[in-house]
Amino acid sequence: MSSKRVALVTGSATGIGRCTAWKLAERGYSITVNFSKSKAEADETAEGVRSRGAEAIVIQADVSDDASVRAMVERTVDSFGGLDVLVNNAATTHFVAHTDLEGLTNQVWDDILNVNLKGTFFACRAAMPHLKLRHGNIVNIASVAGIAGSGSSIAYAASKGGVITLTKSLAKAFAPEVRVNAVAPGPVQTRWLADHQDMVEQAMKLTPLKRPATPEDVADIAVFLADVATLVTGQVMVIDGGRTI
């Protein structure tokens, strides 16, 4: 079994995932960069990993497809010799007003739950045997939407609430070998919100620190949970500028 430290970051072509991959690379982790559609951006993430002195591989996989997720984990282990950290960042949403219940079609629910909740579970399940061998850990990127019932749609909030519960359940089930934690950001300035700045501005009115999170803000907490906070498990760290106080 290799002694090098290895991290798999889902949805790491851009945004929070990219920043997390780069920050873990700076701490000496070999990185699996995962993408679903954005190959060029994933390649850029991988080059950023290598420029920081770490190894990288790029794997296309839709996290809602269990077989693809299992294959991605196995390729990671085959390439690097093990797995120490899984960061579940891949996610999707639909912007549907919370009062528009008819807008929450079966397709909307399936799209969101298949990626955000089932995809997170699939990755945790595939990675768990390897993480147990290395006493590794999982960091799930949740959202304050899953705590407060806010966000882009009710389905999105429900999916992130499920991720929070999944985090706590896995932390109990697999301690002490594997730690499992979550990060719950408020609005994050990524391409997701590029066309929805009105939502950001409205949220900032209720935010004591008066600014949204950046991908770097969220990545800092993810890396802290993954690589520093060795006595923390089953916790959800909120990073929302005080909005949910």
Catalytic residues: 156
Nearest Cα residue to 126 out of 88, 171, 79, 179: 88
What is the C-alpha to C-alpha distance for residues 234 and 232, in angstroms, rounded to an integer? 7
Quickly tell me which residue has 């960069």 as its tokens. Answer: 33
3-state secondary structure 76-118: HHHHHCCCCEEEECCCCCCCCCCCCHHHCCHHHHHHHHHHHHH
Q: Taking a C-beta distance cutoff of 8 angstroms, is the pair 10, 35 a contact?
A: no
Q: In sequence order, what are the residues at sequence separation of 6 or more whose Cβ sits closer than 8 angstroms to the Cβ of residue 118?
A: 64
Using CA atoms, how far apart are residues 54 and 225, in angstroms rounded to an integer? 20
Q: How far is CA 208 from CA 32, 203, 240, 241, in A?
A: 36, 10, 9, 6
Residue 57 half-sphere exposure toward CB, CA atoms < 13 A: 17
Closest-CA residue to 123 (of 171, 86, 83): 86
Render 23-78 in DSSP notation, one character per residue. Answer: HHHHTT-EEEEEESS-HHHHHHHHHHHHHTT--EEEEE--TT-HHHHHHHHHHHHH
Say how far residue 72 (Cα) sits from the centre of its chain. 16
